[in-house]
Amino acid sequence: MKEKVLLFSLLLGMVCGETFAADKQADRGDEEPSKIEKAMSRLTVGGYGEAVYSYNMYSDKYTRYLTPEQYKDESHGRFDLPHVVIFLGYDFGKGWTMGSEIEFEHGGTESAMEIEEEEAGEYESEVERGGEVALEQFWLQKSFMPQLNVRVGHIIVPVGGTNMHHMPTEFFGVYRPEGENTIMPCTWHETGISIWGRAGDWRYEALLIPGLDSERFGRQGWIHDGAGSPYEFKIGNSVAGAFRVDNFSIPGLRLSLSGYAGNSFNNTLSSNRNAKRYEGVKGTVLIGAFDFNYSGHNLIVRGNFDYGHLSDADVITNVNINHMSQASPSPHQAVGEAAIAGGIEAGYNIFAHMPKVNEKGQKFYVFGRYDYYDSMHKTNTNIYEYCGRSRVAAGINYYPIKEIVVKGEYSIGMLKSPYNNEPAISVGIAYSGFFM
């Protein structure tokens, strides 16, 4: 009898327990959507991406500048995904926010381990697709007021117009403006600290970041690769500073100044940089940049001018070419004492005169652009004259909606004799926006 009572009590407890649990789950179910909605309202998801095709009416051989007469009638075509970016952000409340951005350049990378039947069944690792995957941003921010925000982590360095405004809906060309994209890291991102804010018609930003690595400098890209690192860490022997100031006083017009200063020669892993013969060698990089954007009267006009100076360029050239290990992943190239880039583009929205499509928010810009840049603007030798060129482009940008653009352009890079000009036809489609 006692056993039956005990068994009945256990069964009753299980049933009551399940009923109680079900009731609690139902109660939580009523509350859960509001919690989820609250959390989702603090989440930001977005990004941008580009898919392009170019038919380049010039040779892509790496020797085309050494013996240009051999490559006058060559051409090649390329499909590419220059940038595909996913952005995730979250508002924790009380002024604390987080932002992160993962970038897949040129389709990312693909590698696989395979068994090669034709090679006695050996395991072999193959690279199936080139490209890069990079964490472009990851930061935490504390906002005290609109005039004062502190951001710490991996952040964009807003030197030049393209680094600050690099989304594909913010420039007319199929590719990013060639001048700034050649002589500076683009998009330039570093781990550091940023203080920024906006007061009235002024916005400012000041950054403390690692210095560049002079071993990574080269003749055609100047300091472009100096922000990267082939190691699992970023060398931090030198600390650099950067700034940007924007003014919006005139309706429709933004005027901006930005700059960078930092040493690069001792910001490497090379042990010989501490030798006595290099005492006083700093490799100081100084960059000054001006850019603007005007939007009004169905017209958009953008422009930039950038000038960069590298101290001790001859010493860095000598070390990189003659005194660096051949196993180093660096380019072992000469680098210029100065680099320059300037460009201007203008586009007119012809749909503004077509009321039906204009009312739908569609836009169709016809644009032109001119660039001049030279990564070896100042050097002791003139054998690198192919590093300086003018580039002219003309084309269209069609926006079926604000976040999507279809692009097409004809461009020609004009080089000094005896080098061959570099004409190309490019088309692309891109998006940029936030999904939630």
pLDDT tens digit sequence for 11-47: 334 334 444 344 444 444 444 567 788 878 899 999 9
Structural tokens at position 426: 């490019």
pLDDT, mean over the chain? 88
Which residues partner with 197 through β-bridges? 204
Average pLDDT for 66-75 = 91
Judge residue 158's burial from the number of C-beta atoms within 10 Å of its C-beta, 0-12 exposed, 13-18 middle, 19 or more buried.
buried
Rounded CA separation 323/284 (Å): 20
Predicted pLDDT at 120: 52
59 vs 16, residue with greater confidence: 59
Residue type, 44: T
Residues 6+ apart with CB under 8 A from 135: 100, 101, 102, 103, 154
Judge residue 193's burial from the number of C-beta atoms within 10 Å of its C-beta, 0-12 exposed, 13-18 middle, 19 or more buried.
middle
Residues 6+ apart with CB under 8 A from 105: 81, 82, 83, 131, 132, 133, 134
Rounded CA separation 212/335 (Å): 14
- Is residue 221 helix, strand or coil? coil
Predicted pLDDT at 409: 98
Q: How confident is the model at residue 222 (pLDDT cuts 50, 70, 90)?
A: very high
Structural tokens at position 302: 């953008």
Q: How confident is the model at residue 107 (pLDDT cuts 50, 70, 90)?
A: confident
Among 343, 338, 253, CA closest to 304: 343
Rounded CA separation 176/186 (Å): 9
What is the per-residue pLDDT across 335-394, written as a single tens digit (0 to 9) for each?
999 999 999 999 999 999 999 998 999 999 999 999 999 999 998 777 788 999 999 999
Structural tokens at position 16: 């009551």
Rounded CA separation 196/245 (Å): 10
Predicted pLDDT at 323: 82
Span of 214-228, 308-322, 376-390, 409-423 with lowest mean pLDDT? 376-390
What is the per-residue pLDDT across 83-105, written as a single tens digit (0 to 9) for each?
999 999 999 999 999 999 999 98
Structural tokens at position 84: 């595909």
CATH of 130-434, one of 2.40.30, 2.60.40, 2.30.30, 2.40.160: 2.40.160
- Is residue 108 helix, strand or coil? coil
What is the per-residue pLDDT across 250-285, written as a single tens digit (0 to 9) for each?
999 999 999 999 999 988 887 666 678 888 899 999
Is a pLDDT exceeding 90 seen at residue 150? yes
Residue type, 207: L
Predicted pLDDT at 121: 52
Among 196, 301, 287, CA closest to 245: 196
Span of 25-34, 103-112, 397-406 with lowest mean pLDDT? 25-34
Predicted pLDDT at 330: 83
Main-chain dihedrals φ then ψ at residue 350, nearest 5 degrees: -75, -15
Is a pLDDT exceeding 80 seen at residue 79? yes
Q: Quick check: 335 and 315 in contact, CB under 8 A?
A: no
Predicted pLDDT at 119: 47
Q: What is the residue extent of each domain of the chain?
A: 130-434
Q: Are strands 96-105 and 422-434 parallel, antiparallel or unpaired?
A: unpaired
Rounded CA separation 211/234 (Å): 9
Q: Residue 44 CA to chain centroid, in angstroms?
A: 20
Percent of the chain predicted with pLDDT > 90: 70
